[in-house]
Amino acid sequence: MTNLFSMFDPATSSWFSLNWTASLLFMLIFPIKKWLVPTRWTLTMSLMSDYIFNQFMPMVKKMKYLLITTLSYMLFIMFNNVMGLFPYIFTSSSHMSFTLPLALTSWLAMMIYGWLNNYTNLLTHLIPQGTPYILMPFMVLIETISNLIRPGTLAVRLTANMIAGHLLMVLLSTALSNAPTSAVFALFTALSALTILETAVSFIQAYVFSVLITLYMAEFAD
């Protein structure tokens, strides 16, 4: 079991863990449009960014520039998730040390901005429209708790989904190396299908994280 979970351990004997540098690998392939001659890769990235921006735009009624943050979140998490599928690359998004600070800093920034600039709107969100007077104290308590646990749920959702799929891939890979000849084809087919599924999950989880951040931002900004 120690070997099974060692893939999620970022610790090394040096003062700086080289595993965390995997989070910056996307900079090697991310196109710098202003500095490079346009290519098919830069065109693909531009079209993808425009598509994501247009998909998120209806979620924010005001302050459309907030979508720059969510677009950056999605691309950053998506690249980290996908690169974690390659051998010998540490999946930083499967560790709470990566996801919790990412979600917590975003949540704190939204809370500080909201209470300094739009506190009346935040107070109205604590009591949904049409709530009976007798239930208002309970609704305030429930909404307050739900706001406080948002960064934890964002971090745990991303971490748990990435860990679960990677653990299954490790288990199937271990079973494939020790399997009898009659079971090799079935295990290889299952591992291939799981790899395709994990690739889709990598995109989906980045999208879900970005959508939730956008909705939370819209609540604090509008």
- Per-residue pLDDT of 74-128, as tens digits, reads 888 888 888 888 877 778 888 888 888 888 988 888 888 877 877 777 777 777 7
Supply the pLDDT for residue 140.
Answer: 81
Give the pLDDT of residue 34: 53
Query: Domain of 154?
Result: 2-221
Percent of the chain with pLDDT over 90: 0
- Out of 2-6, 102-106, 146-150, 192-196, least confident range: 2-6
pLDDT band at 1 (very low <50, low <70, confident <90, very high): very low
Return mean pLDDT, the chain.
78
157-176 pLDDT tens trace = 888 888 888 888 878 877 77
Supply the pLDDT for residue 22.
72
pLDDT at 11: 56
Average pLDDT rounded to a whole number, residues 67-74: 84
Mean pLDDT for the stretch of residues 55-61: 80
Number of folded domains in the chain? Answer: 1
> Quick one: what percent of the chain has pLDDT higher than 70?
84
pLDDT in tens, 15-43: 556 667 777 777 766 655 555 566 777 77
Residue 9 confidence (pLDDT): 58
- HEC string for the chain: CHHHHHHHCCCCCCCCCHHHHHHHCHHHHCCCCCCCCCCHHHHHHHHHHHHHHHHHHHHCCCCHHHHHHHHHHHHHHHHHHHHCCCCCCCCHHHCHHHHHHHHHHHHHHHHHHHHHHCHHHHHHHCCCCCCCHHHHHHHHHHHHHHHHCHHHHHHHHHHHHHHHHHHHHHHHHHHHHCCCHHHHHHHHHHHHHHHHHHHHHHHHHHHHHHHHHHHHHHHHHC
pLDDT at residue 2 above 60? no
